[in-house]
């Protein structure tokens, strides 16, 4: 019967049963076709708007499995996608009618407390990573939703609550093991294949499949001072005007992101606020708790908050605090810009959009960066936009497909309205599937070097289901 599958040149072909059996025999993991038990679950990703049906999914359990699958894909000239945690908003973990190299079963994390280093397999989620490192009172900066995959997050750059003091996730990457397009395995670090190491720090999955990450860890927690301060949207102008000046003065252990949304029915919000538009300040101090109380005081006591739930919290708990609002299985559409500042005009535009938020799950989120992130030179890693002090994520999110048009239109409208205030750059990990023309903007002055690197390591563009950097020459079949 065989399996109908797409080639890298876009033409359909059929793999005979013998070829599929040969693939199964060459890996220790499981090979799924559309008829296999577990296929439906294996083709689900975080964003329910992504509905792709791969022809084959190889659930790898080792680097040997990854190598064997890459060799098989090359031998049969197949189009492939690579899956880490499956969180990418653009759905790049999956490819219709192609072969998915699924790393989500490879979740091992080993920590060496003496050297403060961790070795991490690419299927680990942030929850798995944080749990393993915090056992030793250690951490490195990663994202704010614990079900995100460490792999995709790291390869795009990676930022979170610790980034102002400890840098991006990639600033703490010491080395990585990579399976290249030619099927060989190499290590990339500052001293080995240094050009590849430069490229995987922000260049996404364009250059190979990472099968192991090695991170530098730092002493963090086990408790941090963190939580939320909530204001009515009517007070957002004066609160954000104060906020933007205040965060210029604070030490780097203090980080405060802000969110505009409709108030969810959470127990710490009085019922009369539920469903009304609010401004949420989400803050953390990762140093000494008593000092943090002093640092945060002016912001927490400004204006008339309707809730203040800031207090000492286990770091792993704060890393998961937003999870209930970011569960998988909802429909999501994102648009993003970087900003150098939060100007009056930007605040007015955001408040106006917040008053027209189309769904109770939709939000406008602002990430605060700067600090250690900005101290690394632009050309030191593929991630380029280190002077963007704020990253906006217009997070369109809703349950019902009937609301697609309304919610997408609102997100695009706010995106356009905020163009005049933005730096013109964008975080590659926040890009949707419909904006490939922005890849160049995502890499800015580093783009040409990335093209040269892609041409060297993946001249046939085997790794193309991502925010793709095309090799210099036209892609030829990957045989």
Ligand X SMILES: Cc1cc2nc3c(=O)[nH]c(=O)nc-3n(C[C@H](O)[C@H](O)[C@H](O)COP(=O)(O)OP(=O)(O)OC[C@H]3O[C@@H](n4cnc5c(N)ncnc54)[C@H](O)[C@@H]3O)c2cc1C
Q: Interface with ligand X by CB under 6 A: which residues?
A: 46, 81-89, 92-93, 103, 122, 143-145, 148-149, 151-153, 155-156, 158-160, 204-205, 209-210, 326, 429, 466
Alpha-carbon gap, residue 283 to 227, rounded angstroms: 6
Q: How far is the CB of 344 from ligand X (least distance, A)?
A: 27
Taking the least distance from each CB to ligand X, the nearer of 51 and 294 is 51
Q: Is the CB of 95 or the CB of 342 nearer to ligand X?
A: 95
Residue whose pair of structure tokens reads 């990639």 in the numeric block: 170
Q: How far is the CB of 182 from ligand X (least distance, A)?
A: 15
Kindly report the three-state secondary structure assignment for every residue of 179-224: ECCCCCEEEEECCCCHHHHHHHCCCHHHCCEEEEEEEECEECCCEE
Helix (H) / strand (E) containing 10: none
Of residues 82 and 351, the one with the C-beta less far from ligand X: 82
CA dist 423 → 168, 336, 340, 341, 387 (Å): 19, 11, 7, 9, 9
Taking the least distance from each CB to ligand X, the nearer of 148 and 422 is 148
Sheet holding 209-216: strands in order across?
A: 109-112, 117-120, 209-216, 173-179, 185-189
**Which residue's Cβ lies closest to ligand X?**
152
Of 134 and 429, CB closest to ligand X = 429
Residue with smaller CB distance to ligand X, 86 or 371: 86
Supply the minimum distance, in Å, between the C-beta of residue 175 and ligand X: 14
Q: What is the DSSP letter of 253?
A: T
- For residues 67 and 305, which CB has a smaller minimum distance to ligand X in the complex? 67
CA distances in angstroms from 128 to 139, 200, 228, listed in the order given: 12, 22, 24
Nearer to ligand X, 158 or 227 (CB): 158
Task: Confirm if 407 and 364 have CB atoms less than 8 A apart.
Answer: no
CB of 157 to ligand X, least distance (A): 6
**Nearer residue to ligand X within complex by CB, 89 or 342:** 89
Instruction: Provide the minimum distance between the beta carbon of 238 and ligand X in the complex, in angstroms, as a whole number.
Output: 27
Q: In b/e form, how buried is each residue of 98-137, taking b as 16+ CB within 10 angstroms? A: bbbbbbbebbebebeeeebbbbbbbbbbbbbbbbbbbebe
Q: How far is the CB of 158 from ligand X (least distance, A)?
A: 4
Pick from 322, 327, 90, 350: which is nearest to 241 by CA? Answer: 350
Please report how close the Cβ of residue 75 comes to ligand X at its closest, in angstroms: 20
Q: How far is it, in rounded angstroms, from Cα 232 to Cα 45?
A: 34
Dihedral (CA of 416, 421, 423, 428) sign:
negative
CA quadruple 216, 221, 222, 226: dihedral sign: negative
Tally of CB atoms within 10 A around 183: 17
Provide the minimum distance between the beta carbon of 47 and ligand X in the complex, in angstroms, as a whole number.
7
To ligand X, the closest distance from the beta carbon of 304 in angstroms equals 29
Cα 159 to its chain centre, rounded Å, is 8
- How far apart are the C-alpha atoms of 423 and 420, rounded to whole Å? 8
């Amino acid at each position: 019967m065989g399996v109908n599958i797409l080639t890298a040149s876009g033409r359909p072909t059929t793999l005979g049963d013998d070829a599929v059996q040969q693939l199964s025999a060459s890996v220790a993991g499981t090979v799924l076709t559309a008829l296999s038990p577990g296929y439906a679950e294996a083709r689900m990703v975080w964003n329910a708007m992504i509905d792709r049906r791969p022809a084959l999914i190889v659930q790898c359990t080792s680097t040997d499995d990854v190598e064997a699958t890459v060799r098989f894909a090359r031998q049969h000239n197949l189009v492939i996608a690579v899956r880490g945690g499956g969180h990418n908003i653009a759905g790049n973990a999956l490819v219709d009618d192609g072969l998915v190299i699924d790393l989500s079963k490879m979740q091992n994390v080993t920590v060496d407390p003496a050297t403060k280093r961790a070795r991490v397999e690419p299927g680990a989620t942030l929850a798995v990573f944080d749990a393993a490192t915090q056992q030793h009172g250690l951490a490195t900066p990663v994202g704010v939703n614990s079900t995100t995959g460490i792999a995709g997050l790291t390869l795009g750059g990676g930022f979170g609550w610790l980034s102002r003091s400890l840098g991006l996730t990639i600033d703490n990457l010491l080395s990585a093991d990579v399976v290249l397009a030619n099927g060989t395995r190499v290590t990339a670090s500052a001293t080995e294949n240094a050009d590849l190491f430069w490229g995987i720090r922000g260049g996404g999955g364009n250059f190979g499949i990472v099968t192991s990450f090695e991170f530098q860890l730092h002493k963090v927690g086990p408790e941090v001072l963190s939580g939320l301060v909530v204001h009515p949207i009517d007070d957002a102008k004066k609160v954000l005007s104060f906020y933007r000046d205040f965060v210029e003065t604070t030490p780097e252990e203090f980080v405060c992101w802000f969110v505009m949304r409709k108030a969810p029915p959470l127990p710490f919000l009085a019922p009369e606020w539920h469903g009304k538009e609010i401004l949420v300040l989400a803050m953390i101090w990762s140093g000494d708790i008593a000092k943090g109380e002093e640092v945060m005081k002016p912001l927490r006591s400004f204006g008339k908050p309707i809730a203040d739930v800031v207090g000492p919290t286990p770091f792993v708990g704060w890393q998961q605090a937003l999870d209930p609002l970011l569960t998988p299985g909802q429909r999501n559409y994102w648009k993003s810009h970087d900003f150098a500042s939060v100007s009056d005009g930007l605040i007015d535009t955001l408040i106006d959009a917040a008053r027209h938020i189309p769904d109770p799950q939709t939000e406008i989120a602002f990430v605060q960066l700067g600090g250690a992130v900005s101290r690394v030179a632009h050309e030191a890693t593929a991630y380029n936009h280190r002077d963007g002090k704020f990253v906006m994520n217009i997070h369109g999110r809703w349950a019902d497909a009937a609301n697609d048009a309304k919610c997408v239109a609102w997100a695009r409208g706010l995106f356009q309205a905020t163009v005049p205030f933005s730096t013109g750059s964008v975080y590659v990990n926040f890009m949707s599937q419909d904006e490939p023309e922005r890849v160049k903007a995502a890499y800015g002055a580093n783009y040409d070097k990335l093209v040269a690197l892609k041409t060297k390591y993946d001249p046939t563009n085997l790794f193309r289901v991502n925010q793709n950097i095309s090799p210099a020459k036209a892609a030829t079949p990957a045989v």
